[in-house]
Amino acid sequence: MIRAEEVQSNLEPAFPSFVKSLVRSHVASCFWMGLPGSFCRAHLPTVDTTVILQDEREKEYKMKYIAYKTGLSAGWRQFCVAHQLFEGDALVFQLIGSCTFKVYIIRANDLTEVDGALGLLNLDAQIKQNVADSAEMKSAACKSSRRKRPRSLPLSVVQKKNKRSGQLRPSVLQAGQPSEQSENDSEEVGSEVLEGFKLSLPAVHFKDIKSFEDFNILVDGLVLDSELSEDIRNKYYELCCNQNAFLHDNLIKGVNFKLIAGIISETVSIADGMRACTLTTSREKFATWDKALKASELFGMNVGFLRTRLSRLLSLAFDSEGATKTRRYLEARFERVVAADEIKSLEAKLVELEEAYERYGANAERLKSKAEGYDLRFQEQVLAPW
């Protein structure tokens, strides 16, 4: 923090800044970056918006700023993973636009890079001359509602220019504690915060995994186990054992962790489907499985062995001579079942008609004598003299 404040003290004062010491909730667990409330109220919008963080290589990362919580949520995890941030590191945020921050990283375990950051204390004469020449322009920019973007040096360049720094300012040494630490760095930050991930132990080789109890799904230093059910993790472990490797080892960097969990779940589901498929499984189902596996493969997932098996099953089910004969047999057997069902239906209808026939016959015999007597009386009236 002392070195981070040294970096901050040498930034252009026209552009407000603050320092953050990273704690666990920033880089693990819920990935929530709380910003100083007073700074946010003074310089940031009062409604939710998109904030841009620009690193020292001027690569930009967009993320969601939640105004009433004065913190960064969606997108912050990607920034942490991309820059391999850990608890104990410090960041200097410099507001260079209405919603754009320049971020300087001071790592707790990398003194070389920290010394490079401290090189900002001794900018060479040419840099200072450039600043002096543009002072008048900056003064005019400060009066306007829009800020002019400051010119900043990458730490690697500053490090080469500064081999002699090492003196710390007394005022900074006396500070001792992080300045403007946010009061809203709690891990309990509601549904806006992505939960379920945590820092893991150092990466291990699959050959060192002896049982399911030792198996963790580790991606970019984070454990995804809590995002998957135990049943899915168990089946995924069996697939990894089959290949003697983590199937996700070569996933491209920066992929959303929810998406990775979905890819693993889909892989397990397809493997289960392939185990349960029969010769009656449709060609469309095979095509859907292959399309999903191909998409996973594009992300770097090792599912080539499943696609190979799927291709063989598809060939056996539809393209071989044996498959054709078997399919005709299955179709004939199905038609026979349909015909048998129709026979049973007709037999049941016949029984129903026979019962109706007997019922109508009984009624006819019971009414026959009455009908004949009535008809006789009617004929008497017909033939009676006028």
* In the predicted structure, residue 309 carries a pLDDT above the cut 90: yes
* In the predicted structure, residue 306 carries a pLDDT above the cut 90: yes
* In the predicted structure, residue 113 carries a pLDDT above the cut 90: no
Asked whether 51 and 62 are in contact (CB, 8 A), the reply is: yes
Provide the pLDDT for residue 203.
Answer: 63
Provide the pLDDT for residue 145.
Answer: 39
Q: Is 300 left (phi over 0), alpha (psi -120 to 50) or beta?
A: left
**Tokens representing residue 117 in the block:** 């950051």
* In the predicted structure, residue 257 carries a pLDDT above the cut 70: yes
Provide the pLDDT for residue 151.
Answer: 43
Amino acid at 209: I
Per-residue confidence band for 303, with pLDDT thresholds at 50, 70 and 90: very high
Spell out where 107-244 has E strands: 198-199, 218-219, 222-223
Phi, psi dihedral angles at 50 (to 5 degrees): -100, 130
Provide the pLDDT for residue 29.
Answer: 64
Provide the pLDDT for residue 170.
Answer: 36
Specify which residues 54 forms β-bridges with: 60, 102
Q: Between the ranges 10-19, 174-183, 195-204, 338-347, where is the mean pLDDT highest?
A: 338-347
Per-residue confidence band for 110, with pLDDT thresholds at 50, 70 and 90: low
Q: pTM for the whole thing?
A: 0.41
Q: Which has the higher per-residue pLDDT, 147 or 352?
A: 352
* In the predicted structure, residue 294 carries a pLDDT above the cut 70: yes
Q: What is the rounded CA–CA span in Å between residue 68 and residue 190?
A: 12
Asked whether 34 and 69 are in contact (CB, 8 A), the reply is: yes
CA triple 103-109-113, angle to 5 deg: 50
Provide the pLDDT for residue 202.
Answer: 56
Which range (90-94, 176-180, 202-206, 368-372) has the least confidence? 176-180
Q: Which has the higher per-residue pLDDT, 372 or 157?
A: 372
The DSSP line for 281-350 is: S-HHHHHHHHHHHHHHHHTT---HHHHHHHHHHHHHHHTSHHHHHHHHHHHHHHHHHHHHHHHHHHHHHH
Q: What is the rounded CA–CA span in Å between residue 237 and residue 235?
A: 5
* In the predicted structure, residue 221 carries a pLDDT above the cut 50: yes
Per-residue confidence band for 285, with pLDDT thresholds at 50, 70 and 90: very high
* In the predicted structure, residue 52 carries a pLDDT above the cut 80: yes
Per-residue confidence band for 245, with pLDDT thresholds at 50, 70 and 90: very high
Q: What is the rounded CA–CA span in Å between residue 72 and residue 70?
A: 7
